[in-house]
Amino acid sequence: MRFEHVGGVVCLGETMVVMVPAEPGPVHLVRTWHRAVGGAESNVACHLARLGVRSSWASAVGDDAFGRAVLDAVGGFGVDVSAVRVDRDRPTGLYVKEASPQGSPVRYYRRGSAASGMGVEMIDRLGLGQVELVHLSGITAALSDSCLALLRELLRRPRHGFRISFDLNWRPALWADRDPAVLRELADQADVVLAGADEAELVWGTGDPRRLRELLPGPASLVVKQGAEGATLLEDGESHFEPALRVEVVEPVGAGDAFAAGFLAATLAGQTPSVRLRAGHLQAASALLTAEDVGDPVPDDVSGPLLHADPRTWASARLEV
């Protein structure tokens, strides 16, 4: 599943360093850690690059070792990171996964981060004259007043030759001191909106695709991800549903970003609603089949036939490690 001739995409948002315990036991006794990076928007950019789409990531990182690690990791996927601002005064954001028998809570250390200092001046770094799509998420709106102003200004301006996609990406911890009502305002001004039914239920009071369309009449395309059931696309007054693939799940984290990349790549390539949703499911499967946020795409000899398979063949497919 490749989309080499698709135009450029720029993804805007924070990416942080992730610290994960490398040994069992209470986190305060852990002495060895694995370092990784994590960010919804850069994940989308990395998936797009893996699919052959020219992609870039715009953000800000600190002038520190963590910032350089983030740039190396994202750039290593073939993503253009030249639009990232290196902030000499603010640090790169960090979060820590605390493994425990009760689960794996995440602790964020992002207040005052370099990315939280982004504002409307970032728009000049996006290269809007050379891209076909700008990808945003609701996470950025919660980082700071200046980040919210950045999204509002970007969505307010006239669009010449490009579209804006907006992934809800609900992170309740980020909204403790902010009003999430702004997310509906932002989403309704985008061209493409993606949201999980479960998170939409929490934020907007419903995960039903038709009711969500009534709440968000503005976007040309509205995608509601319904977990293992499938996904629904509402567009041009019609509703299209494609069941999800059956997958041997290794790790669920990152599947939403992968789905967004697959769907957006196929959308830019002018594919049919069915193929676009299937491309999302196939790329999500690539994330579910690995412990990494960005794994290898499903091989072409598997994904190609499935994209255009009849409904019975698609429904009977199962992907395993």
301 is catalytic: no
The backbone torsions φ and ψ at residue 278, rounded to the nearest 5 degrees and listed phi first, read -65, -40
Encoded amino acid at 36, one letter: A
Check if the beta carbon of residue 60 is closer than 8 Å to that of residue 271.
no
Check if the beta carbon of residue 315 is closer than 8 Å to that of residue 244.
no
CB atoms < 10 A from the CB of 258, how many? 28
Encoded amino acid at 249, one letter: V
Provide the CB-side half-sphere exposure for 276 (13 A, CA).
24
With helix as H, strand as E and coil as C, how does 213-250 read? Answer: HHHCCCCCEEEEECCCCEEEEEECCEEEEEECCEECCC
* Active-site option among 80, 87, 167, 257: 257
CB atoms < 10 A from the CB of 8, how many? 18
Pairing, β 9-12 against β 55-58: parallel
Q: Is 109 exposed, middle or buried (0-12, 13-18, 19+ CB in 10 A)?
A: middle
Q: Is 31 exposed, middle or buried (0-12, 13-18, 19+ CB in 10 A)?
A: exposed
Tokens at 315, concatenated: 């429904």
Annotated active-site positions, please?
257
